[in-house]
């Protein structure tokens, strides 16, 4: 589980600098919010 989150975080960082369609930004915002809520507990 932790390795999946780590790979996801790397993918977000890499993908952050590339142009994204609006639906990808929405998914990214949801995932980032979810990950932040996990770490803030």
Domain ranges of the chain: 2-40
The per-residue pLDDT for 41 is 67
* Each residue's pLDDT tens digit, 1-41: 788 888 888 787 777 666 778 888 888 899 889 989 988 86
**Got the DSSP string for 3-28?**
HHHHHHHHHHHHHHTS---HHHHHHH
Spatial separation of the C-alpha atoms in residues 19 and 10, rounded to whole Å: 17
């Amino acid at each position: 589980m932790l390795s999946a989150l780590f790979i996801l975080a790397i993918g977000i960082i890499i993908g952050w600098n590339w142009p994204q369609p609006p639906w990808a930004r929405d998914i990214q915002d949801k995932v980032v919010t979810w990950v932040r809520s996990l770490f803030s507990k």
